[in-house]
Structure 1
Amino acid sequence: MTQPLVTAVAPRWEVGLAGTLSRSSRVRVVRRCADVAELLGVVAAGVGRVAVVSSDLRGLDRSVVDALEDQDVLVLGVHPPDDEAAERLLRRWGVAVTVHADADTAALDGALVALLDPPGPAATRTPGQGRSPAIPAAGSADAGVGESTPEGDPPPARPTPALRGGRPREEGPDDAGSVVAGSDDAARPAGHEDGWAMDRPVADGDLDDGDGADGPGADEGAGPKERTGPDEGEVVVVWGPVGSSGRSTVAANLAAELADPLQPAVLVDADTYGASQAQLLAVLDEVPGVAAAARAADQGQLDRETLARLAPEVRPGLRLLTGLPRADRWPELRDVALADVLAQCRRLARWTVVDVAPPLEQDEELSFDTLAPRRNGAALTALEAADRVVVVGTADPVGLQRLVRGLDELAGHTVAPRSVVVTRVRPGPVGPDPGRRIQETLTRFAGTGPVHLVPEDQDALDAALLHGRLLAEVRPRSAARTALLGLADAVAGREPQSRRERAAGRSRGWLSRRLAPA
């Protein structure tokens, strides 16, 4: 049975591609859309099982591809012949199967087979095999359907569409990847002369010409190192209920304590209500880094090198992706784009610390419209991608009440392990022995485990804010810094005492270099 197909391609390909698809045995063309808006409307109406889009279609980006996948539509990408850049762009947008725009019917059918008939559990590829064996060209009797492999090799596996979400799909040596289909009587990957083959998905690291240094002894001049597989970085989201809880201060200093030249960290300011990390660290940004990274992700141009350029190093091993300068620019941080940014952060750094805004409510009036941007989408997306959540509250009756209610609200948005931090701990608002009282209160009303207590240390925090630096730089032995260092030990799963001694020595060395006369 043929599947209903809709097209939305640039005018120069539209007539020829529609004619070729009309002769396909796999699909039938039910609608030819003139632009992205018409395509999304048609798909939302339930018309079409497959969508064919071209890389040069005006308005096409990652969010459009994501919207099509949300409607359970399979996406086939077409690009100009021999245009590898356009092919890579489609892959970065999440299009798993691509074909040359001038491909013939056999080549299109071969690509549609890969798109419509995903591999079963037994479909694998021989470990260590660089590329799957080619499928016969269109001239053979079984082109696009049958499989021909060298003697002794198992048949190649057909690819599945790339998965969505904040974390990229992990590929092992046996995974099948994206399909590239071409012209010349067969769909073929760029650089191949015979047939069409199934290649693994193009990772951003595959697009670079660097030497690929990735170990602790790699040369610093080789550029940012990619982290994949078991060494993929972790995302730690710092969230807290509304109020002056010190969330941003905790996020900045936690990132600094986790950061190390050999295990770098990225601090992402995703607070769409009141970004403050640039001011806390005295960074002058003409363009908000997080907005630029999200825009690059939407356009399929975000890779490790681009992200490293947008996130300057503010301390050895610590990069900062600055936030939005005004709250009314929140639509620039679309959910899908931010998820891609966090996925690239995982590859760039061992730790990604994300500072998000307190509100988590959904836009109920717009919930029927899946394409509408969510006002709190940045915070919700970060929580969905989080490997751990650090919840920050204040040590006073109002702050503790908000913290208890916030913990209950947070449970509906993430299942990631959480660490509870209470700042500005002092006897005044809660009475004698404030640490014990706060712990008992949160255990009783919120069921929390051990709570990390940050004592009131206004002098140290004022000094850090005055100089635009971190506690480790201006007050390495302060009580607040010691407490936050203990939090970092807990998050990283490191032995507290040895970590504290190493960090204190490193902080003194860094501070002496910063204060040394020129």
Structure 2
Amino acid sequence: MSIPVVTVGAGQAELVGSLERLHGPVTVVRRCSELAELVAACQTGLARAAVVTGGTQEVTATLVDRLGTVGVALVGLTDDDAERARLAGLGVLAASESVPPQELARLIGEAVDAAAALSADRPSSSFGLAGARPTVEAEAEPPEDGPEPGELGTVIAVWGPIGSPGRTTIAVNCAAELAADGRSVVLVDADTYGPSVAGVLGLLDDSAGLAQACRLADQGLLERGPLERVASPVVTGAGVLRVLTGLTRADRWPELRAAAFGSVLERCRELAEFVVVDTGFCLEADEELSFDTMAPRRNGTTLRALELADRVLAVGAADSIGMPRLVRALAELEQAVPGVAPTVVFNRLRASAVGRSPDRALREAWERFGPGIPIGAMVPHEAEAADAALLAGQVLLEAAPESAMRHSIAEIVCAPRQRKRRFAVPGAKARVPVPR
């Protein structure tokens, strides 16, 4: 059966002629004048493969992802060796513009088979976002530190419903506790509504590290070196972690494309043993944009993080408003990311909001009204400790190392030996501001 193909780029007339003379393996069904026309043709189901000859600089991870969602494979033809390597990093089969027609037909067939296999493995989110790493990619060199060669770090996504239940507080302090335990950690601020990791850590940052990383990833240029440069190192007094700071303005959210963000997380996995992601709250699929699969989606980064996460912490406020919100949100989470198994974390537990014996009262209410998921952790509310940390731009490990709030968060991610120590690292001192 012949494979329908659309083409775009300089020299496509000669390319089409050579393919048509093969009489069978592939059939060129449209010659496009620009990339936007090619995308539109692919979205109609006209083709199963697209060939870009020359001008491949416009090919990005977002384009590959969106064509992949409609089952179209992409092949790039360029005589630039560096450009072919970039395309390979994006998962695009690339060859020279002078490739023989028989070899090109074979490459198109391979690309279509790879696209079909990748499409079958995609997570069934409400976005239809690309789920797996590209089937064909440049071989990466083993990192000097971080995870062992051949191993990838663990992604922990910290998510919760609307209402500021304390996602950022949990995410930042979980990352700090892991760093104090001697683990390599990257903290990612992926909240497209209210990014605040930089503010919590006292960072005077206006560079939006995550946006920079996503731009590089979209072009297939995000390697270990560039990622280390845009991920700010932060000393917590008992360890060091890297931070990909969030957007400086909420209206910059279109810079965080889901496909590029997924590549950033995969690179972070190669750099560190743990990747902690502070996500947004919203899981809506932007239905009004569904007709245009190339349009950015504001909630794409949140869904992408939840799809790729090895562990999801679902954070809810421990009060009469926060609990019902979390119950409803967990149902939405299951619908948006089927099969997810979140760890429920109730934050700001206090007798004034729940009543006497707040931990017991909360568990009884959750067993009665909750969705059947056990409570994984309850973090007590200690306003003085939280305010001291926020005022100093520190983590709880620095500002209030003996607080029950700090120990409760440490229990979520750290081994028992770590939780029992007075300080995470011998010699670490509390309440001493650390220059950033």
Q: How high is the TM-score relative to the length of structure 2? A: 0.88
* Structure 2 CA distance for partners of 1:72 and 1:160, relative to 1, 3 Å: closer
Task: Say if 1:474 and 1:511, in contact at 8 Å, map to a contact too.
Answer: no
Equivalent pair of 1:18/1:29 in contact (CA under 8 Å): yes
Q: Give the alignment of 1:58-457 within 5 angstroms.
A: 59-80=58-79, 83-95=80-92, 97-115=93-111, 165-168=130-133, 178=136, 201-205=137-141, 212=142, 214=144, 225=146, 229=150, 231-259=151-179, 263-315=183-235, 316-414=239-337, 415-446=339-370, 447-457=372-382
Please name the residue that 1:482 is paired with.
Answer: 407
Deviation at 1:7? 0.9
Match of residue 152 from structure 1? none
Contact 2:143 / 2:271 at 8 angstroms: preserved in 1?
Answer: no
How far apart are residue 455 of structure 1 and its match? 1.3
Give per-residue Cα distances to partners, 1:6-38, cap 9 Å, x unaligned. Answer: 1122x2x43443333333342222222121101
Give the structure 2 partner of residue 139 of structure 1: none
Contact map agreement 2:146 2:184 (CA 8 A) in 1: no
Q: Which has the higher contact order (CA 8 A, sep 6+)?
A: 2
How many residue pairs get aligned? The number is 421
CA–CA separation in structure 1 for the residues paired with 2:143 and 2:56? 37
TM-score by length of 1: 0.75
Q: Match for 1:501: what amino acid?
A: K
Q: Is the 8 A contact 1:3 1:49 kept in 2?
A: yes
Q: 2:12–2:53: 8 Å Cα contact kept in structure 1?
A: no
- Indicate conservation of the 8 Å contact 1:6/1:33, yes or no: yes
Instruction: Give the Cα–Cα distance (whole angstroms) in 2 for the partners of residues 86 and 160 of structure 1.
Output: 25
Query: How far has the Cα of 1:335 moved from its partner?
Result: 1.3
CA drift at 1:409: 2.1
Partner residue, 1:24: 22
- Gapped runs of 5+ residues in structure 2? 123-129
Distance 1:225 1:395, change over 3 A: closer
**Letter in structure 2 aligned against 1:19:** G
Q: Distance in 2 between matches of 1:452 and 1:225?
A: 28
Cα distance in 1 for residues equivalent to 2:110 and 2:350: 63
Structure 1: any 5+ residue segments left out of the alignment? 120-158, 170-176, 179-200, 206-211, 215-223
The offset of 1:166, in angstroms, is 4.6
Residues 191 and 280, structure 2, Cα contact 8 Å, conserved in 1: yes
In 2, Cα distance between equivalents of 1:354 and 1:438: 27
SS of equivalent to 1:397? coil
2:424 equivalent in structure 1: 506
The CA distance in 1 between the partners of 2:382 and 2:431, in whole Å, is 25
- In structure 1, what is the Cα distance between the partners aligned to 2:94 and 2:7? 14
After TM superposition, give the deviation of residue 293 of structure 1 in Å: 0.9
Q: Distance in 2 between matches of 1:257 and 1:450?
A: 21
Question: 1:429: Cα distance to partner?
Answer: 1.7
Aligned equivalents of 1:480, 1:103: Cα separation in 2: 63
Write the letter of the residue equivalent to 2:374: G
Cα displacement (A) at 1:386: 1.5
Would the aligned equivalents of 2:400 and 2:430 in 1 still touch at CA under 8 Å? no
Q: Which moved more, 1:367-376 or 1:319-328?
A: 367-376
Tell which deviates more after alignment, 66-75 or 457-466. Answer: 66-75
Aligned to 1:454, the other structure's residue is in SS state: strand
Would the aligned equivalents of 1:167 and 1:343 in 2 still touch at CA under 8 Å?
no
Considering only CA atoms, is the larger Rg found in Structure 1 or Structure 2?
1
1:471 aligns with 2:396: yes
Aligned to 2:125: none
Amino acid at match of 2:7: T
Q: CA deviation at 1:413?
A: 2.4
Give the C-alpha shift of residue 260 in structure 1: 5.2
Runs of 4+ in structure 1 deviating by more than 4 angstroms, as ranges, are 116-119, 159-164, 224-228, 512-517
Which amino acid in the other structure matches residue 268 of structure 1? V
Q: 1:454 to 1:161 in 2, by over 3 A?
A: closer
Aligned to 1:150: none
Structure 1 54/295 Cα, relative in aligned 2: closer, same or farther at 3 Å?
farther
Question: What secondary structure is seen at the aligned counterpart in 1 of 2:183?
Answer: coil
**Are the equivalent residues in 2 in contact too, given 1:55–1:89 (CA < 8 A)?**
no
Q: Aligned to 2:336, what secondary structure does the other structure show?
A: coil
Deviation at 1:508, TM superposition (A): 5.6
Is 1:166–1:342's contact at 8 Å kept on the other side of the alignment?
no
- Cα distance change, pair 468–369 in 1 and its aligned pair in 2 (3 A): same
Instruction: After superposition, give the CA deviation of every residue in 1:301-333 in whole Å (9 maximum; x if it has no partner).
Output: 112222121111113341111001111111111
Cα deviation for residue 64 of structure 1 reads: 1.2
**CA 228–332 in structure 1, closer or farther in 2 if over 3 Å, else same:** farther
Q: Structure 2 vs 1, CA of residues 107 and 282 (structure 1 numbering), >3 Å: closer, same or farther?
A: same
2:425 and 2:140 mapped to 1: Cα distance?
Answer: 34
Q: What code does the residue aligned with 2:408 have?
A: A
- Report the AA paired with residue 70 of structure 1: T
**Residue type of the partner of 2:368?**
R
C-alpha RMSD of matched pairs (Å): 2.7
Counterparts of 1:481 and 1:263, CA distance in 2 = 18
Post-superposition shift, 1:54? Answer: 3.8
